A and B are shown apart, each in its own frame.
Chain A
Amino acid sequence: MKTLYESDFIVIRDEIRCIRCKVCVRQCANEVHQYDEEDDRVIAENSRCVGCHRCVTLCPTKAITIIRNPLDFRENYQWTARAIKDIYKQAETGGILLTGMGNDKEYPIYWDRLLINASQVTNPSIDPLREPMELKTFIGRKPEKLEFDNYGRLITEIPPQLELEVPIMFSAMSFGSISINACESLARASVEVGTFWNTGEGGLHKKLYPYKERAIVQCASGRFGVDVEYLNAGSAIEIKIGQGAKPGIGGHLPGEKVGEEVSQTRMIPIGTDAISPAPHHDIYSIEDLRQLIYALKEAVNYKKPVGVKIAAVHNVSAIASGIARAGADYIAIDGFRGGTGAAPTRIRDNVGIPVELALASVDTRLREEGLRNQISLIVGGSIRNSADVIKAIALGADAVYIATSALVALGCHLCQNCHTGKCNWGIATQDPNLVKRLNPDIGAKRASNLLKAWSHEIKEMLGGMGINALESLRGNRLMLRGVGLNEKELEILGIKHAGEGI
C-alpha cells in the first residue's frame, strides 16, 4: 500500500562539506544514508529518519543537519498534522500506534509553575563552598519514634534503609529495554555517586553483579529473572504495579530482543516474547499486595526494604495510603510523563496524572493519616533538572527517580523510537553492533557527572534557602510559590501563590 505518510524529517547535506567519509552511512541503523558509488555522493532516504542526530553528531565536517519536514497541512486547530498522520499510519497498518519515551503532549508542567525561595537579611543564606551541605537521604520504613535504655543505648530496631548520598536514584529500566552497556553505565554511576539503580523487570545480568549492592531489584508482573538469589542480590526490592507511561497495562519485550543474554538474565527461553501481564496475577486486592510484600521480606529475611511502584492515577493518594498500611517500606510514584521503552501512544498520552499533583496529594494524605513519617516517598517521571528535584522534595518527596534524564546524559536524543530496537546511541537496543556504541566507561562518567552537577546545584539552592541539610527541605512547601496556577491547583499543591508572604 502506498503510504500517505510523508517523512517527519529532512536530512540536509552540505555537499561542499561532505567528504564522502561514510561515517553517517555506517552509523545510521535506520539506513537513512547510502553511498552512491556511481555519483560519488551520499544520499539520504528521509522517510527513515527518526531525528536521532547520530549522523549529525558524528559527521566530522558537520555537513549534515536535520530539519523538521516543513511540509504543512492546511491550518486546522482541531486537525493537527500529528492527528492526521496518526490516522494515516493506522489506516495503513491496522495496528495500535506504538511509541517510546514519555508523554510529549502540551499538558501543564507544574514544575515550571513552581518557584523556589531564598534567604535575604533576616536569615542568612549559606555558602556551600564553605559550609557543609548534607544531601544524605534514607529510604525505608521509619519507626514513629526511637527508644533508648537507661544507658542511652538505642533499643529500637531500625528497619533496613537505603542510604543515598544524593536524593536521586536511577529509575527502573530493564536489561532488555535498554542495553547492557546502558545498565552498566548507570550501575557504575550509582556506585560512584552513592545512589541506587534499578533492574526493572529485566533480572540481574551477571555482568552487573559487581554493582548489586547499589541495585534495587524489581519484581514485576512477569516475574522475569526473579529467584531467591536475585531478591537477595540487591539492596532493596521493588514491586512494580504500574508505570507512569502506561498505567494499567503490562509490558511486552518482543522475542527478537530476547537473545542469549536477555534469555539467561530473564530466565526465559531464547526468542520467546517476554510478556508482563497488566496486573500481577497474584495481586487482585490490597491484602494480596500485603502478602507479596511480606513474602518478599520473608525471602530476604527482613534485611532489605520492599517498596511498591505505582503509576500516578486519579486515586493515587488512597492507593498510596493502602500501600503504606500494607507494610511497604517505600512508595514510588511514577508520573504520566514518565518514559518507557514502548507504549501504545494513546495510553502514554492520555492516561495518568502529573506527578507533581500526585505527590502533593499523596504527601498530604499520608500526613493526614499520620503515616507520612513511616514510609518513604519516591517520585519519578519527568524530573529534568536539579530544580525539579528541589521542588519534588519541597512538595514532600524523600527522593526522586530519574530515567529519561539519565538516558539523555548517556546520549539519548529523545527520538522516541525505543520500541524499534534500533537505537543509534546504543541505549534502547540489543543489537551488539549498536550496543557497543555506548562505552560504559563514558556512560558511567556522564551519568555520574549529571548527578554530581545536580548535587552541586541542589546544594547551591539549599544554601540560598538557608538550609544545610536536605531533610529540612523535605515537605517544606513554604519554600515554594506557584505562578499562573488557579486556586484548586494551589490547594492541591499546598502552596501559596507567588507574591504572598510567609
Chain B
Amino acid sequence: MELKTKKRIYPKEDVCIGCHLCEIYCILAHSGTRDLIKAFKKLDKPSPRVLVEEKDGYYITFALQCRHCDDPLCIKACITGAMHRDENTGYIICDEERCVGCWSCILVCPYGAIRRSEDGKAVSKCDLCIEKGNPVCVENCPNEALELKELEDLA
C-alpha cells in the first residue's frame, strides 16, 4: 500500500532561460484542445500548473511543478479528499470536481506549487500530464531545463 510517485520533474536553474514555454504548453495540455492558438483564445483558458520563478534584476529563473512528495501535506490537509494519490502512477492528483477551494493545500505546500485555478473555483496543480503520458513542460522546454526522472525503489 505504500505508494510513491514514479516520476518527478527536476528543474535545472543554470539553464532555465525564463521563456515560460513550459507554462504555455501546460496551458495547452490542459485546455482540451490540441492547438495553442485555440487554447489561448478560449475564455476558460486554464492556468498553468508549472510556475516559472523569476525575479527582477536577478538572472536565475527556474520552473517549478508539484514535487509529488513522498509525504504529501496537501493530501493530509485537504478537507474534501479531493487531493489524492493516483494508484497507478503514484502522482498526486486533485479531483477538481470535489475541490471546494478552501486552499488548505496551498497553506501547507512547502513548494508553493499548488495554485488556484483561473476561475478561483478549484486547485490547479501539476498532474505530470497523466493522461498524455509525458509532461509537456519537459518535452517542450527548449533548453532542456526540466528533467523528468524515473524514480526507483517504489514500494
Contacts and interface: CB of A to CB of B under 8 A. Distances in A.
A19 B40 contact: yes
Contacts of A19: 24, 36-37, 39-41
A61 interface: yes
Contact of A60 (B12, B15, B24, B143): B24
Interface string A430-474: 001100110111100000000000000000000000000000000
23 contacts: A19-B24, A19-B39, A21-B20, A21-B21, A21-B24, A21-B40, A23-B19, A23-B21, A23-B24, A27-B17, A57-B142, A60-B140, A432-B59, A433-B18, A433-B59, A436-B14, A436-B15, A436-B17, A437-B15, A439-B15, A439-B145, A440-B15, A441-B144
Nearest to A14: B37
A22 interface: yes
- Identify which of B15, B18, B144 gathers the most chain A CB atoms within 10 Å of its CB: B15
B25 interface: yes
B143 A437 contact: yes
A438 to B, nearest CB: 8
A17 interface: yes
Contacts of A16: 37
Contact of A442 (B18, B20, B39, B144): B144
Interface residues of A, number: 21
A26 interface: yes
A60 B146 CA distance: 17
B29 interface: no
B11 to A, nearest CB: 12
A60 B23 CA distance: 11
Interface in A31-74: 57-58, 60-61
B21 A439 contact: no
Interface size class of B (residues with CB under 8 A): 20 to 34
Interface of B: 12, 14-21, 24-25, 36-37, 39-41, 59, 140, 142-145
Nearest to B25: A60
A20 interface: yes
Contacts of B25: 60
- Identify which of A17, A27, A61, A436 gathers the most chain B CB atoms within 10 Å of its CB: A436
Contacts of B18: 26, 433
A433 B13 CA distance: 11
Contacts of A58: 19, 21, 142
A261 to B, nearest CB: 13
Interface in A84-98: none
B143 A26 contact: no
Contacts of A436: 14-17, 59, 143
A442 B15 CA distance: 10
A188 to B, nearest CB: 14
Contact of A27 (B19, B144, B145): B19
Contacts of B36: 19, 60-61
A61 B39 CA distance: 11
Nearest to B28: A60
A441 B147 CA distance: 12
Nearest to A436: B15
Contacts of B37: 16-17, 19, 61
A58 B25 CA distance: 12
Given A17-B37, A19-B36, A433-B59, A60 B144 contact: no
A123 B18 CA distance: 58
Given A60-B36, A61-B36, A442-B144, A23 B59 contact: no
Contacts of B17: 27, 436-437
Nearest to B140: A60
Which 10 pairs of residues, A with B, have the shortest CB-CB distance? A19-B40, A439-B15, A432-B59, A433-B59, A439-B143, A437-B17, A21-B24, A23-B19, A61-B36, A436-B15
